[in-house]
Amino acid sequence: MNDVKDVQSEKDLRNIPLKHVGIKGLRWPIELRDKARGTQHSVAEVTLAVDLPHDMRGTHMSRFVECLRTLGPVGLADVEAILDQLKQHLQAERAFIELKFPYFVTKKAPVSGMEAPMDIDCVYKAEKGEKLRWRITAVVPVQTLCPCSKEISEYGAHNQRAWAKLEVEAQEMVWLEELVEYAEASASTPLYGLLKRPDEKYVTEHAYENPRFVEDAVREVALRLEADKRITWYRAEVESMESIHNHNAFAVVEKGENECY
C-alpha cells in the first residue's frame, strides 16, 4: 500500500481555501441520550466536513467514516470528541458535524393516562475551530386555534396542526425533551400519539380556551428560551397549516445576530 499515490495531498495552485469539504447523506445508527430513559436508539443522516487550506487539492474521505465509528451515546462531549478526531486525522483547523434524526418522546394522554411515543424531527449541529459551537434543533408538532375566528364566530373556531421549530445554541447540554416542553406550552395545545374519547374532549376544549396566533405562539417560545440561561442564541419559528386557507401562516423570532455555520 505504501506505493499507492496520495493524490488528495497534492499541492493546489489555485489559491482558493474551501469552507466545507466532506461527506453527507450517510445514514448511521446512533445512540442518543434520553432524559427519562437514559438512552434511545435512532438512525441519523450524517454530514461531516472540515475546512481545506488553499494549497491542498483534496481531503481523505474515508477518514470521516473512520472517526464516526467511535461515536458513543450522543452528547456534548461525544460530539466534541468526534470533531477533535476529524481535526487531528485530517490535519484541519476546523471541523463540522450535523446529525439529523427522529427522536421519540413518550406522551401521556391528559385524561386516560394512556402512553404512546411521538416522533420529533431533530438536528444536532456542531463546529469546532479553537472553540466549540453547538446547536440543537427540534421540530415539534402542536396545535393552534385562531383567536380571531373564535371572537367573530357564533360557535367554533378554526384550528389546525402547526410546527414549532426551535433552534438553540448553548454552552451546556439542552435536552430535546426540554425544547418539546417549551414548544407545547407555547401553543394552543400539545399533540398526542394516542387519545381516547375523554382525551379528545379535553384537548379540543383546552385548545378552544387557549387560542393562539402563530405570532402569539412564537413569542411565548421566545419568553421560555430567554429564561433558560444555558441558551446563548436561538431562532424559533411557528408554522400553522391553515385549515380554512390554501396557504400556511408563520412567524419567526431570532435572538440577536449570529452567523450560521
Whether 27 has a pLDDT exceeding 60, the answer reads yes
- For the stretch 221-256, pLDDT in tens is 999 999 999 999 999 999 999 999 999 999 999 997
Whole-number Å distance between alpha carbons of 72 and 79: 9
Specify the pLDDT at position 18.
Answer: 81
Q: Are 123 and 98 in contact (CB under 8 A)?
A: yes
Using CA atoms, how far apart are residues 88 and 108, in angstroms rounded to an integer? 46
Whether 42 has a pLDDT exceeding 70, the answer reads: yes
For the segment 80-133, what is each residue's pLDDT rounded down to a tens digit? 888 998 888 888 889 999 999 999 999 999 999 999 999 999 999 999 999 989
Contact of 87 with 45, CB cutoff 8 Å: no
* Percent of the residues in the chain that have a pLDDT greater than 90, as a whole number: 64
Query: Domain coordinates of the chain in residue numbers?
Result: 11-254
> What is the predicted pLDDT for the residue at 127?
93
Amino acid at 162: A
Taking residues 15-22, what's their average pLDDT? 77
Residue 164 pLDDT? 98
pLDDT mean across residues, the chain: 88
Of 86, 81, 78, 65, nearest to 20 by C-alpha is: 86
State pTM to two decimals: 0.86
Pick the CATH number of 11-254 from 3.40.30.10, 3.10.270.10, 3.30.70.20, 3.20.20.70: 3.10.270.10
Confidence of residue 19 (pLDDT cuts 50, 70, 90): confident
Q: 156: alpha, beta or left, given left = phi > 0 and alpha = psi -120 to 50?
A: left
